[in-house]
Amino acid sequence: MKTEKTVRDGICRLTQENGKTLAWAEGTGVDVIEKDGLYFKDLAKTGELLPYEDWRLPAEARAEDLAKRLTLEEIAGLMLYSPHQAVPPAPFGPFGGTYGGKQFADANVEPWALSDQQNEFMDKEHIRHILLTTVQNAEVSAKWSNALQKKAETARLGIPVNLSSDPRNGAKGSGIGAEFKNAGTDVSKWPEGVGFAATFDPAVVKQFAEDASKEYRALGITTALGPQIDLCTEPRWMRFVDTLGENLEMSKKFVKAYCDGMQTTENEETGWGKDSVNTMVKHWPGGGTGEGGRDAHYAFGEYAVYPGNNSEEHRKPFTEAAFRLDGPTGCASAVMPYYTVSWGLDVKNHKNVGNSYSEYLIKDLLREKYAFPGVVCTDWGITADPSPEMDAFASRCYNMENMTEPERMLVAIMNGVDQFGGNDKSGPILEAYRIGCEKYGEAVMRERFELSAKRLLTNIVRCGLLEDPYLDPAESAKVVGNGDFVRHGYEAQLRSVVLLKNRNNALPLRKGLKIYVPERKIRAMKAFFRGEIPAHNEDPVEDALIAKYGTRVKTPEEADVAIVFIESPSCNAYSTEDVAKGGNGYLPITLQYRPYTADTAREVSIAGGDWRESFTNRSYRGKTNTAYNEADLDNILDARRAMGGKPVIVCAQLNNPTVVKEFEREVDGLIVEFGVSREAVLDVVFGAFEPTGRLPIQMPKDMETVEAQCEDKALDMEPHVDEMGNAYDYGFGLNFSGKIEG
């Protein structure tokens, strides 16, 4: 058999004509074993071929063999998923880290060096699942990944690292929660989730998944924490824009395209191979039904409700799509339950607890009724003791506060949960095991822990990491953000832009005009992590970009056209000031810019109750809230007055559906987008691309319509009708000639 061995930058690589390519690092103790004329990696350093090292065996058999060889401590490490890792670490904040106790700027180390924290959780806690956030570039990511894999290879059984990422290809770069987005690297840029839905074309999603999976693998990433397949039936939810829409049948098509495109490697019989990326679909059993639009990252948003008795429809993107893929991999690799307490869904035990703690939702439904075989990983940070403050970021062990952290973990594990997101200490899992042994017997607990280990290891084996986890940094730099991928992403951005209004054929604009773009003014606001962001102004577009289309002028009086960039309204859903004044703290989430008073909201909330509160009614009826970015509306109205009869074009970035009746009749053109670059928007405005996108959502008539809809029902709002007689309903969109027929 023809073989070839090379050594480059300390990485040995052996290619064989009739077998898998093998790669290992010098100095780790790993070598190769020859058997039956083929070569295998001696990961266990025993000199004999063990079943888990034999790449000829099925992935499940290899994983099962390896699971049986693990110590309890090693299994516990597999069941942990690291906190977010920035490369290099930030100097402060939640993504920080040190080198020999020093910050990166003072440590005189390369940006791909392993931090103190990474060395500790790999060596001491046996963690092999690591979440990557920001990284300088593809080359740095590849070198850091190689450093992690080399460290993992030196360990007893040589179990490689499974790197993961939240979605990192979104073109959206501003707005509420942007500080939590995965920045960086030079990956191709695509629309956010609802932007894909605006194309009405699953082939666009398939192309994204195929391109992004190659970029992920070039960065060292083998698990995607996505897609987010919640049906976005609640228009006020802050994660609305990250979903694939609220139309069930279209969403199912997108889910299959995404998961198949990520997981399937061409010419592999099982579909799995060296180019595959595991998908972790989220959030079971559907996270888009938070009462009043509140989000369960925070205790004031812990409850999901189902006033339309429509919970089963929210499970169908999982049960009829993610678990029934058309491609050969068959099923998404992993599932993430949401933080929420799914109010009233537990018809067995009648317990309103966080989803991962619900025996009915995880054991009875997900594992038994729907027979999901893969990894169940909790959302990040659900096991820790809660903060004494209601308005805090880290308080998500919902209605399990009376237990210790190990007791909570044991409940989740016995339900069928395999892994705990954001946890880097194995002690609580080991204590959960001890408690379980007392309760169920050691044989039962060892078998249960080995089952989780098998599931977790199967996803590592499938992606070829046991054979070759190493990257060529120069090659990674060529793959990530290459011309074809960038072009595909930009085309998708263009296709997701929706033209809603074009009075008197104001669009497209001709190039060379004098263009007025007002500065945006944002009030002081709450950040994603609930810290305060001071009031500030921001320029929505760079002068250099405007210069590609015309001349930017400082006043509307000297302009030929005003282009006003806005975002959908955003506001604070919970007020400590209201609590201090004797209120319950709950405020309406508004989708309009001017102050909104919730006179038609529920008098009594469907769900409620928290150990920090002396009441259960979370109603905000009669209360008033105002968008942080109310001045976006002022910019439109001021431009209209100043421009007189000259055209005013509004370009709206929609994180949520928006009440446009406040300004629609004052503008000549209205374009909406779902997380694309300013250049893509302007290319549509100036006619370089004729719009093809259509609304994947409904634009509500008013806030009373929003209050009247059911959080769990799709497309149940009365849409806005503009002065041209067009209803801004699901599927509506214009091109430059008129209405697009769907």
Model confidence at 179: pLDDT above 80: no
Residue 180 pLDDT: 38
Question: Is-contact 168 224, C-beta < 8 A?
Answer: no
Model confidence at 98: pLDDT above 90: yes
- Nearest alpha carbon to residue 302 among 391, 377, 232: 391
Residue 183 pLDDT: 46
Assigned token pair, 724: 């041209």
Strands 341-342 and 84-87: unpaired
In one-letter notation, the amino acid at residue 221 is: I
Mean pLDDT, residues 23-52: 97
**Phi–psi pair at 35, nearest 5 degrees:** -150, 135
CB atoms within 10 A of CB 662: 18
Model confidence at 184: pLDDT above 80: no
Mean pLDDT, residues 252-258: 98
Look-up of token digits 């670490």: 89
DSSP-assigned beta bridge partners for residue 155: none
Question: Is-contact 35 48, C-beta < 8 A?
Answer: no
Q: Say how far apart CA 657 and CA 564 lie, in whole Å.
A: 18
Residue 172 pLDDT: 81
Q: Say how far apart CA 673 and CA 567 lie, in whole Å.
A: 10
Q: Say how far apart CA 73 and CA 408 lie, in whole Å.
A: 19
End-to-end CA distance of the chain: 57
Mean pLDDT, residues 286-311: 98
Model confidence at 720: pLDDT above 80: yes
Give me Rg for the CA atoms of the chain.
Answer: 26
DSSP-assigned beta bridge partners for residue 7: 12
Model confidence at 415: pLDDT above 60: yes
CB atoms within 10 A of CB 528: 17
CB atoms within 10 A of CB 56: 12
Q: Say how far apart CA 342 and CA 606 lie, in whole Å.
A: 11
Correct CATH for 59-479 of 3.40.50.620, 3.30.420.40, 3.30.230.70, 3.20.20.300 = 3.20.20.300
- Nearest alpha carbon to residue 174 among 673, 586, 518: 673
Q: pLDDT band at 155, cuts 50/70/90?
A: very high
Q: pLDDT band at 1, cuts 50/70/90?
A: low
Domain range annotation of the chain: 3-53, 59-479, 497-570+627-739
Model confidence at 378: pLDDT above 50: yes
Residue 182 pLDDT: 43
Question: Is-contact 42 56, C-beta < 8 A?
Answer: no
Q: Say how far apart CA 372 and CA 366 lie, in whole Å.
A: 6
Q: What is the 3-state secondary structure (H, E, C) of 571-614?
A: CCCECHHHHHCCCCCECCCCCCCCCEECCCCCCCCCCCCCCCCC
Burial category of 128 from C-beta neighbours within 10 Å (exposed 0-12, middle 13-18, buried 19 and up):
buried
Residue 604 Cα distances to 43, 389, 488, 581, angstroms: 60, 23, 49, 20
| Segment (H or E) for 400 | none
Residue 320 pLDDT: 98
Q: pLDDT band at 173, cuts 50/70/90?
A: low
Residue 370 pLDDT: 98
Mean pLDDT, residues 488-511: 98
CB atoms within 10 A of CB 668: 21
Q: Say how far apart CA 439 and CA 609 lie, in whole Å.
A: 30
Q: Say how far apart CA 283 and CA 289 lie, in whole Å.
A: 11
What digits encode the pLDDT tens for the residues 280-298?
Answer: 999 999 999 999 999 999 9
Residue 612 pLDDT: 97
CB atoms within 10 A of CB 447: 11
Residue 291 Cα distances to 80, 235, 313, 681, 710, angstroms: 31, 11, 17, 33, 9
615 Cβ neighbours under 8 A, 6+ residues apart: 584, 608
The percent of the chain in helix, strand and coil, each rounded to the nearest 5, is: 35, 20, 50
- Nearest alpha carbon to residue 389 among 292, 300, 295, 304: 300
What digits encode the pLDDT tens for the residues 662-674?
Answer: 999 999 999 999 9
619 Cβ neighbours under 8 A, 6+ residues apart: 584, 586, 601, 602, 603, 604, 605
Residue 344 pLDDT: 98
Q: pLDDT band at 178, cuts 50/70/90?
A: very low
DSSP-assigned beta bridge partners for residue 574: 586
Model confidence at 559: pLDDT above 50: yes
Q: Say how far apart CA 390 and CA 573 lie, in whole Å.
A: 12
Beta-sheet strands, E only, within 589-681: 596-597, 624-625, 648-653, 669-673
Question: Is-contact 118 132, C-beta < 8 A?
Answer: no
What digits encode the pLDDT tens for the residues 333-363?
Answer: 999 999 999 999 999 999 999 999 999 999 9
Helix 116-123 to helix 138-154 angle (10° resolution) is 30
What digits encode the pLDDT tens for the residues 128-151?
Answer: 999 999 999 999 999 999 999 999
Assigned token pair, 277: 């990326």
Torsion sign over Cα 681, 685, 691, 696: positive
CB atoms within 10 A of CB 604: 10
Model confidence at 52: pLDDT above 50: yes
Model confidence at 175: pLDDT above 50: no
What percentage of the chain has pLDDT greater than the value 70?
98
What digits encode the pLDDT tens for the residues 578-599?
Answer: 999 999 999 999 999 999 999 9
**Domain 497-570+627-739 sits in CATH 3.40.50.1700:** yes
211 Cβ neighbours under 8 A, 6+ residues apart: 188, 484, 485, 488, 489
Assigned token pair, 557: 């009086």
